[in-house]
Amino acid sequence: MSQAARVERPGILWAAPALVFFGLFGLGPVVVVAYLSFTQWNGLETPVWVGMENWQALPGDPNVGHGLLISLGLTSLCWLTQTPLAIMFGAWAAGKQRIRAVASAIFFLPLLLSTAAIALIWRALLDPNFGLAPDIGPFMGLPNGNFLGNGSIALYVIAFVILWQFLPFHMLLYQAAARDIPRNFYEAAEIDGASRLQQFFSITVPQLRNTIIASSILIIVNSMTFFETVLLLTNGGPGTATRILPLHMYFRGFSGFEMGYASAIAVVLVAVGTTLSLLIVRITGYSKMTSQREGA
Amino acid sequence: MRYMSRPHLIGSAALALVVGATSACGTSGPGEESGGGSEGGLEVWALEDATVNPIVQQGIEQFNESSDVSAELTTYVNDAYKQKLQVAMGSPNAPDVFFNWGGGNLAQYVNSDQVVNLSPYMEDDPELRESFLPSVLDVAEIDGEYYGVPMLGVQPIVLFYNKQVFEDAGIEPPETYADLLDAIDTFKEQDIIPVSLAGAQGWTELMWLEYLTDRLGGKGVFDAIAAGEEGSWQDPALLEALSMCRDLAERGAFGSNFSSIDYDNGSASSLLASGKAAMMLMGTWELGTQTDRNPEFVESGNFAYTDFPTMEDGEGEPNAIVGNPSNYFSINSDTENEEAAVDFLTNTVTSDQYVEGLIEAGQVPAVEGIEDQFSSSDTPEFSEFTYNLVSDAPSFTQSWDQAVDPATAEAMLTNLQQVFLGDTTPEEFGEAMEQQR
Amino acid sequence: MMTVESTARTTEPAVGQGRVSGTEPRKPRRRGQRRERPNIGAGIGAGLWFVIVAVPVYFLLATSLRGQGDYLGEGPLSLPTGLTLDNYVRVFEVGFANFLLNSLIVATGAICLVLAVALPAAFAIVRSQNRFVRATFSLFLLGLAVPAQAVIIPIYLIITRLNLYDSLTAIILPTAAFALPISILVLTSSLRDVPRELYEAMAIDGAKVSQTFLQLVLPLSRSGIVTVAIFVGLQAWNNFIFPLVLTQSQETRVLPLGLWEFQTQYGTDVPGLMAAVVLSALPIFALYLFGRRHLLGGLAAGFGK
């Protein structure tokens, strides 16, 4: 410490531009949205303070509870499908054969496309009259190919499209991490006579623990961006079957022009998103990991 | 553990925010340089419409020749337009002259003092006021003052059908509601979608509710809703119309996958044109859509139309209509060129050339005394049909989603989609909308 | 339900089969298992996923190259009868080049802005002894949890009040702000790898902080900078909600929004739409071909381990 103290250190000024900028466009809006949630504002005039009015209306809005529920449902669905598949394919792709490298390259293709592009491709494919849907529907119990217009399956279809888009990314994380697992772990297990499945669960999965945590956090944080996919695929429909909470906020705000009320929903979104992230950080001890690195 | 220092952290965050917020306010103050629109010119916004845009464009060019202020046209697609306009009107990027639907859509801007009152100009020039069909001009009247002029043709909602499909099935287009139900059953048996409905977009479903309510209970049912009367959303006629909508959907009138069909991307229209569907309830702009997307369908003469069926025991007038009385041009009160904008509205939109252009494009202008002029239209029969429909109609109810405020419209369309899907009962619809009111 | 169940079905038995792969050779073991440990279960799963990825990609490419009539007549998965580039030509006729240029400007602007503020901040966070400065790191991490569309209304308010509505700057600012947390995470972790002795050596030579920054920090965090640049560039390239709410005119339209507009205006023109999608992916594809390692790093920014 005494030696280091002689070295001139950068001061607050170095961090100031980032702080001001992030304050203005990153965290500032969180405070502003909290303020707006107590106002009535149609996007045109000056917001008018109305106290708790928007907040009192929230519980009576069936789409808020419903939206929150399917938002969380969609997030869980995405976690449940992406995590096991990504671990499995990631571990598989970490192998050295050429075929795996080629296959991984193909797997990777969805990552080159934007969310909008992917949603539009699937919309064209799932068009019940002019797409592929009427051809594959009958094999999946949907003779009319009505994938996106069927309230009981539209959410699963969305989860599938999201899986299609993001699986390669998470696979990539696991592939990199799996390559770092020392080979001799497996060799030792082999000598002990452990089966492949035992090896997978006793070596691969524990060794990937930190990656699993990081990947899960990403899925949960990203689940808020599912907004675009849902907007472009089903527009929240049929009815309100896929109207996730961010979409409900968007509609109330930018179609109904009840910006104040929409802000109250937005505050709920921020609260839920932050709570979930902090919860994972707490439960998994991810904070210890980062603070250890930070303390270096 | 860095997380132990959280209170400190929040304090610093708050500081950063205060800094951010004040700097945001410091540079604000809307309209520092110009109130709205383009400087020294007129920015005119309209809905994208391949048939009509060239006429407006021509009107603008004509205007530009005689005026020292030059106007410019910008167009947007349907669903995007209302949002773009709403968002823009709150900003310095607002247009000077904007296309709107009259009614509640216009009223919200009027209530925010963002629209120029045209009544004084009309008092100066009574002929201007008398040149429009009164029932159509009245839609731009808010609290007794006029805020817009009709700039497009009348657009009632009519029942379109594919003549070939009806001929093949050996049946006539429906005249009564009972006929309609029979036709639906006939087409269902033949694996033809009886009615093409773009259920992914609630406003197409609303057309059914509007007509059924009007036929069952008359014009007064919606007038009460528009006036915000208590219990108006639970009117027995409205509830019955809702259950009829639901019955139609359950009967298979709209096929099994209507909820994923879109109007804006042309799917619904293509179903009708290709003969996969037999009928479609839509505004008269459907002619433009079909001419644009499926020209061979229009040329073949199979593109046919009729009034919405009558209802034997309904209280409403059998020839009342619903739809868009017209679209309107209004002026942003922040404009720097109000006089030029008024000039554009009063002279261009009523000029013989503009009216003639509308007629040629298959539009039916909301202008008095043009019965004899439709021969220049590409589709004179359709234009005459529409003009007579409007002039014979005892009432012309504006599309509900335009007549109510946007928040109510949003809730109404959402709830209505659920009724069509059978997720919500008519009574639940009524309750939800009463709460909204 | 269907889709999820079916993918689940393909994975669960697949793992089970892996265990009994020796006794139940459902598929011939043709993959180079002699060199590597065989994993038939995962292999079959991967094979299925391969199809699920390849079919839409084939659909995308094939459709973009076929005529409109061919698409409606022959069905989506048939081999195109006559290949045509007409769709691509048509896409350029509706202003695609302009969208492309706007997206490039937004991506470049966001990258420059992020690097300009994040590099000094990361340097300060790693090297400062001021508790407050170091605590800002946690502040930025906290920002990771704020979903962008939850604050779109206040951002809209701020952007209009700053008279920036409907400009490319309006997209750049919030995009950069929301890319900042991860960028700082990446840059701090790459700076933490710089040995303390190097800083001390600089100090002994009498270097000022700014010299240390320019001569030591910048060169040594080069890989971090590339990673951040790609990460931010991708965010800007793909972002949809900021342009959707913060811009309106044809002049400021960026690619993802352009695709959407194309869909509503020329909805049934699926071949044209697919050609537009292909074109929008080309720049990223080029990056993939020539800088695969960097692209992957940018995608997985900060989450490698």
What does the alpha-carbon distance between residue B348 and residue A65 come to, in Å, rounded to a whole number?
51
Q: Which residues of C touch A125 (CB under 8 A)?
A: 56, 59, 76
Q: Which of B28, B32, B79, B265 to mutate to test the interface with C (most CBs of C within 10 A)?
A: B265
- The residue among C136 and B27 whose pLDDT is bigger is C136
What does the alpha-carbon distance between residue B178 and residue B312 come to, in Å, rounded to a whole number?
9
Could you tell me which chain B residue has the CA closest to the CA of C153?
Answer: B87
Mean pLDDT of B91-106: 85
Which of these, C240, C248, C254, lies nearest to C152 by C-alpha position? C240
Residue spans of beta strands (DSSP E) within chain C: none
**Alpha-carbon gap: B1 to the closest alpha carbon of chain A (Å):** 6
* φ and ψ of B404, to 5 deg: -100, 170
Taking an 8 Å cut-off on Cβ atoms, the answer to whether A239 and B417 are in contact is: yes
Q: Which fold has domain B157-322+405-436?
A: D-Maltodextrin-Binding Protein; domain 2 (3.40.190)
Provide the phi-psi class of C146: left if phi over 0, else alpha when psi is between -120 and 50, else beta: beta
Dihedral sign, CA of C146, C151, C156, C157?
negative
At position A15, the amino acid (one-letter code) is A
Reading the block at residue C5, the tokens are 């169940």
Q: Exposed, middle or buried, B123 (CB in 10 Å: 0-12/13-18/19+)?
A: exposed
For residue A238, is the peptide bond before it cis, meaning its omega torsion is within 30 degrees of 0?
yes
Taking an 8 Å cut-off on Cβ atoms, the answer to whether C249 and B265 are in contact is: no
On whether any CB of chain A is under 8 Å from the CB of C2, the answer is yes
Q: Which residues of C touch A264 (CB under 8 A)?
A: none
On whether any CB of chain B is under 8 Å from the CB of C249, the answer is yes
State pLDDT tens for residues C248-302.
777 888 999 888 877 766 656 788 889 999 999 998 888 888 877 777 777 766 5
On whether any CB of chain A is under 8 Å from the CB of C120, the answer is yes
Residue spans of beta strands (DSSP E) within B344-433: 396-398
On whether any CB of chain B is under 8 Å from the CB of A31, the answer is yes
Which of these, A278, A266, A283, A226, lies nearest to A64 by C-alpha position? A266
CB C234 within 8 A of CB A113: no
**According to CATH, where is 3.40.190.10 located in chain B?**
12-154+326-398, 157-322+405-436
Give the DSSP letter string of A188-227. HHHHTT--HHHHIIIIIHHHTHHHHHHHHHHHHHHGGGHH
Listed ranges A46-55, A276-285, C60-69; the one with the highest mean pLDDT: A46-55
Residue A38 pLDDT: 96
Give the DSSP letter string of A79-138. HHHHHHHHHHHHHHHTS--HHHHHHHHHHTGGGGS-HHHHHHHHHHHT-TTTSSHHHHGG
**Alpha-carbon gap: C37 to the closest alpha carbon of chain B (Å):** 42
Taking an 8 Å cut-off on Cβ atoms, the answer to whether A240 and B276 are in contact is: no
What does the alpha-carbon distance between residue B270 and residue A129 come to, in Å, rounded to a whole number?
10
ipTM value for the complex: 0.84
- The residue among A61 and C13 whose pLDDT is bigger is A61
Q: Which residues of C touch A33 (CB under 8 A)?
A: 150-151, 153-154
Q: How does strand B145-146 pair with strand B97-100? A: unpaired
What does the alpha-carbon distance between residue B80 and residue C253 come to, in Å, rounded to a whole number?
13
Which of these, B423, B436, B16, lies nearest to B199 by C-alpha position? B423
3-state secondary structure labels for all residues of B183-215: HHHHHHHCCCEEECCCCCCHHHHHHHHHHHHHH
What does the alpha-carbon distance between residue C25 and residue C43 come to, in Å, rounded to a whole number?
12
Q: Residues 6 or more apart from C193 whose CB is under 8 A from it?
A: none
What does the alpha-carbon distance between residue A45 and residue A171 come to, in Å, rounded to a whole number?
48
Taking an 8 Å cut-off on Cβ atoms, the answer to whether B86 and A254 are in contact is: yes
On whether any CB of chain B is under 8 Å from the CB of A149, the answer is yes
As a CATH number, domain B12-154+326-398 is 3.40.190.10
Which of these, B255, B251, B249, lies nearest to B268 by C-alpha position? B255
On whether any CB of chain A is under 8 Å from the CB of C83, the answer is no
Listed ranges B141-145, B252-256, C42-46; the one with the highest mean pLDDT: B252-256
| Total residues found in chain A within this entry | 296
State pLDDT tens for residues B46-58.
887 777 888 888 8
Split at pLDDT 50, 70, 90, the class of B39 is low
State pLDDT tens for residues B150-180.
988 898 999 999 999 999 999 999 999 999 9
How much is the mean pLDDT over chain A? 84
* Beta pairing partners, B146: B141
Domain limits of chain A? 61-288
Taking an 8 Å cut-off on Cβ atoms, the answer to whether C300 and A215 are in contact is: no
Q: Per-residue pLDDT for C25 more than 70? A: no
Q: Residues 6 or more apart from C161 whose CB is under 8 A from it?
A: B24, B25, B27, B28, B29, B30
Mean pLDDT of B1-24: 30
Task: Nearest by CB to A27, from B1, B17, B267: name it.
Answer: B17
Provide the phi-psi class of A120: left if phi over 0, else alpha when psi is between -120 and 50, else beta: alpha
The DSSP element (H or E) to which B328 belongs, if any, is strand B328-331
CB C180 within 8 A of CB C217: no
Task: Nearest by CB to B256, from A45, A146, A239: name it.
Answer: A146
What does the alpha-carbon distance between residue C273 and residue A175 come to, in Å, rounded to a whole number?
34
Taking an 8 Å cut-off on Cβ atoms, the answer to whether A149 and B261 are in contact is: yes
Taking an 8 Å cut-off on Cβ atoms, the answer to whether A10 and C35 are in contact is: no
Residue spans of beta strands (DSSP E) within B220-325: 277-283, 303-306, 321-324
Q: How does strand B141-142 pair with strand B145-146? A: antiparallel
* CATH superfamily entry for domain A61-288: MetI-like (1.10.3720.10)
Q: Which of B257, B263, B425 to mutate to test the interface with A (most CBs of A within 10 A)?
A: B257
Residue C37 pLDDT: 55
Residue C267 pLDDT: 59
Name the residue with tokens 């096929």: B255
What does the alpha-carbon distance between residue B93 and residue B86 come to, in Å, rounded to a whole number?
11
- Count CB atoms within 10 A of the CB of residue A91: 23
Q: Which of B87, B289, B296 to mutate to test the interface with C (most CBs of C within 10 A)?
A: B87
The DSSP element (H or E) to which B278 belongs, if any, is strand B277-283
Task: Nearest by CB to A296, from C63, C149, C192: name it.
Answer: C192
Crossing angle between the packed helical segments A12-22 and C96-127, to the nearest 10 degrees: 140
Reading the block at residue C98, the tokens are 């302009």
Confidence (pTM): 0.78
Residue A262 pLDDT: 94
DSSP B36: S
Show which of residues 10-49 on chain B sit within 8 Å of chain C, judged by CB atoms: 12-13, 16, 24-25, 27-30, 32, 48
Cα dist from A128 to A101, A138, B195, B226, whole Å: 36, 12, 16, 37
Q: Which residues of B touch C188 (CB under 8 A)?
A: none
State pLDDT tens for residues C75-103.
667 777 778 888 898 888 878 899 999 99
Could you tell me which chain A residue has the CA closest to the CA of B90?
Answer: A44
